Chain A
């Protein structure tokens, strides 16, 4: 469960202060597929960055599982991003000098030794283990044959698949996608959305997609509309309730709970 309460974020440009988030209250359940929609400058990406621990200059409270992100040390926030969050960006943000496999395995470089049982995993995997895991997630997104390719030789859709594979590498419980189809044509965008659905359904990953396109947002089970830093609407689709009931009937495994994300000490730098 992710719980935001009274989240404010403002930017200062010279003497001018602009409030981007104005007291956001929001709860996101484990395994939810949520989209946040709104016009440019409405605070969608800012909200995403705050939940992902990339932006800590806000006021209010952001609780992810048992941990409160606000006040966490930089080292703990980095560890949180590394273990529990996968980011997907509109601009893909792959490193052009690395192969697809190396891009996907990038989080392993910064994997710290587990400090407590709840952190999951031991110290960083071996290089062979990293490569095997990278190959596994590349295959999962349909890029298994392109592990040695450089990003510059890929199409936009392929790049985004590699970026999704990188987000999946650390087995995150939360994926945060900022306009993931913004640079893709409709057909490619649709296939990426299908991939997200699949990840959400089969692996129970909590998925938050930020978009300004209505048709993309409709693919999610829940749509939050953000305007002027405030939530204007919060709509759950009928399909969402039906899908939940069907899953329960089929005995599908419950979504891994973000509640298992333990609280961290303020250790680190």
Chain B
């Protein structure tokens, strides 16, 4: 029997028995819809959690827990310290595409500004780290640069001349003149300004600037050097967290990442609400937000690592510029994460636990449980399909006998029954996927309409990939084929002589 003729017979039989098949298919549709819905939900949530919140193709290597914590600085003991040699050994691990050292700013610092966006100046403790600009090259907003603009060894860095105000400096440079005189009020630690990224009104201007007039005669108006803004990246997470929590709690405007790029602020180095650096003279700099990156420090500002090295040495000890706090490893593929993790442990370092493993496990369990539930539903539906086919075959006994008499073989009969089952599977599979997709749209609509904003709130929680849709339809077809297997065998084994001679 050719496929074309088989298809004709199957289509005709389905039309004729549509009431039977329609009822029997309900269970399969429900099962497949459940299967597809929860799998799409699991895959979608997994993509958000592991793709945005805890990227698994990047590992952060930190010194072992034997390290001694000295305030915000974690100092490694002996071989556990992360220095350039450690970075080189980590970079040599097979499966590591790149290793980028990161250094935290370990000097007291404040950040002040934000009038353009918030309507008033805010001041906060500055938590910052430094990163290799190459890591975040793709995250810098168009038209902006993220590099060490004051690295004397970089031939691109030329002096910017002198100025009386910002207008006389090139674009994205500022006139480094001292801040206006201020009341002699020392910044102090207070409950209103907690150390961790707290926001406070800018009532305490910075201390004495380090800048000095640029060799101007006493009688001439003072001129000051032009300096490039310190380029700063903020974490994409920061916008999510700010919009989801701080903006709501403090009645601040919501931030749009594109709108925030170009924001300038003042950085005070060497003193903060909490303490003052033991060495060096506090000074001010101005920074500019040049983009958002998932690789930036979650709650703070990320600078080109050259700045941080210099600041740490200027306000700390001379060795501070060669001690990294962590090294970010980019893995060639997610499949290599396990082997790279083992190699890191073998070198005597630890991986920062960012919760990805637990989150991934939780999602896997979630998907497994609902996958199991839907498999049970589909399994029960397969039994229902089996009953339906047995019933249909009983009703069509004589018809099967006639087909056998005119030349149908047992295989032909089997193929007809299994063809009907496969067709029912395809139809129910597609119906199940459609139901799941409709349910997902409903859920996304309800989320957008009724759920308050929260960090990482996605537009959709679901990921319907072609592979998932194919698997769902394949599952439905397989279920129907399994259900029809024994009925098809029975139909093929019918004795045509007996059924045709029956009254």
Find A109's partner among B1, B495, B503 (CB 8 Å cutoff): B1
Q: Which of B12, B405, B411, B503 is in CB contact (< 8 Å) with A54?
A: B405
Given A54-B497, A78-B408, A110-B412, A93 and B1 contact (CB-CB distance below 8 Å): no
Contact of B497 among A49, A74, A111, A112 (CB under 8 A): A49
Given the contacts A89-B500, A93-B500, A97-B16, A111 and B405 also touching, CB distance less than 8 Å: no
Using known A-B contacts A45-B501, A54-B497, A93-B398, determine if residue A110 contacts B406 with beta carbons closer than 8 Å. Answer: yes
Instruction: Give the residues from 399 to 417 in chain B that come closer than 8 angstroms, CB to CB, to chain A.
Output: 399, 401-412
Of A79-87, A220-228, A237-245, the one touching chain B: A79-87
* Distance in angstroms between the alpha carbons of A52 and B496 in the assembled complex: 11
Q: How far is the CB of A32 from chain B (nearest CB, A)?
A: 22
Chain B residues within 8 Å of chain A by Cβ, number? 27
Task: Tell me the number of A-to-B contacts counted with CB atoms below 8 Å.
Answer: 82
A74-B410, A74-B411, A269-B410 known; A87 vs B405 contact (CB < 8 Å) = yes
Within 8 A of B (CB), among A109-128: 109-112, 124
Q: Which of A77, A81, A269 contacts B406 (CB 8 A)?
A: A81
Question: Does A95 make an interface contact (CB < 8 A)?
Answer: yes
Instruction: Take A55-B497, A93-B500 as given contacts and tell me if A81 and B407 are in contact as well, using a CB distance cutoff of 8 Å.
Output: yes
Contacts of B411 in A (CB 8 A): 74-75, 268-269
A110, B497: Cβ atoms closer than 8 Å: no
Contact between A106 and B497, CB atoms less than 8 A apart: no
Q: CA of A52 to CA of B16 in the docked complex: distance in angstroms?
A: 30
As a 0/1 sequence over residues 380 to 422 of chain B, the CB contacts with chain A under 8 angstroms (1 = contact) are 0000000000000000001101111111111110000000000
Which among A54, A82, A83 has the highest number of chain B CB atoms within 10 Å?
A54
Contact of B408 among A46, A89, A110, A170 (CB under 8 A): A110
Given A74-B411, A81-B406, A269-B410: A109 and B500 interface contact (C-beta under 8 Å): no
Within 8 Å of chain A (Cβ to Cβ): is B2?
Answer: yes
CA distance A104 to B275 in the complex (A): 101
Does A204 touch B at the CB level, under 8 Å? no
Closest to A93 in B: B402
**Interface positions of A from 48 to 87, Cβ below 8 Å from B:** 49, 52, 54-55, 74-75, 77-79, 81-83, 87
Q: How far is the CA of A94 from the CA of B1 in the complex (A)?
A: 20
Query: What residues of chain B lie closer than 8 Å to A49, measured between beta carbons?
Result: 497, 501
Contacts of B501 in A (CB 8 A): 45, 49, 89, 178
**Known contacts A54-B497, A75-B411; A81 and B399 CB within 8 A of each other:** no
Q: A54-B496, A124-B2 are in contact. Are A78 and B407 (CB under 8 A)?
A: yes
User: In the assembled complex, how far is the CB of residue B488 from the closest CB belonging to chain A, in whole angstroms?
Assistant: 13
In the complex, whether B5 has a CB less than 8 A from a CB of chain A is: yes
Contacts of B405 in A (CB 8 A): 52, 54, 81, 87, 93
Judge whether B9 is part of the interface by a CB distance below 8 angstroms: yes
Residues of B472-503 contacting chain A, CB below 8 A: 495-497, 500-501, 503
B399 touches A78 (CB 8 A): no
Complex Cα spacing A194 to B169, Å = 116
A166 at the interface (CB under 8 A from B): yes
Residues from chain B with Cβ under 8 Å of A45 in the complex: 497, 501
Interface size of A by CB at 8 A reads 33
A111→B401 contact, CB < 8 A: no
A107 interface contact, C-beta 8 A: yes
For B5, list chain A residues within 8 Å (CB): 109, 124
Shortest distance between the CB of A46 and any CB in chain B (Å) = 8
Q: How far is the CB of B241 from chain A (nearest CB, A)?
A: 66
Residues of B within 8 A of A106 (CB): 402-403, 406
Contact check, A109 vs B398: say whether CB atoms are below 8 A apart: no
* Cα distance, A239 to B404, chains bound together (Å): 36
A75 vs B410: C-alpha distance in the bound complex, in angstroms? Answer: 8
Inter-chain CA distance A82–B404, complex, in Å, is: 9
B402–A109 CB distance below 8 A: no
**Known interface pairs A78-B412, A97-B16; A54-B407 also in contact (CB < 8 Å):** no
Q: Which of B398, B401, B407, B495 is A110 in contact with, Cβ under 8 Å?
A: B407
Complex partner residue of B9 from A46, A52, A93, A109, CB under 8 angstroms? A109
Chain A residue with minimal CB distance to B17? A97
B418 CB to closest chain A CB, in angstroms?
14
A148, chain B: closest CB distance, angstroms: 16
A268 adjacent to B409 (CB under 8 Å): yes
Give A49 to B378 CA distance when docked, in angstroms: 43
Name the B residues within 8 Å of A269 (CB-CB). 409-411
Which residues of A sit under 8 angstroms from B399, Cβ to Cβ?
95
- Name the distance in Å between A131's Cβ and chain B's nearest Cβ: 13
Q: Which residues of A contact B404 (CB under 8 A)?
A: 54, 78, 81
12 contacts between A and B (CB under 8 A): A54-B500, A74-B409, A77-B409, A78-B412, A82-B406, A87-B500, A93-B402, A107-B406, A109-B5, A110-B412, A166-B406, A269-B409
The list of the 9 closest CB pairs from A to B, nearest first, reads: A82-B407, A78-B409, A110-B407, A49-B497, A107-B406, A54-B497, A55-B497, A269-B411, A87-B405
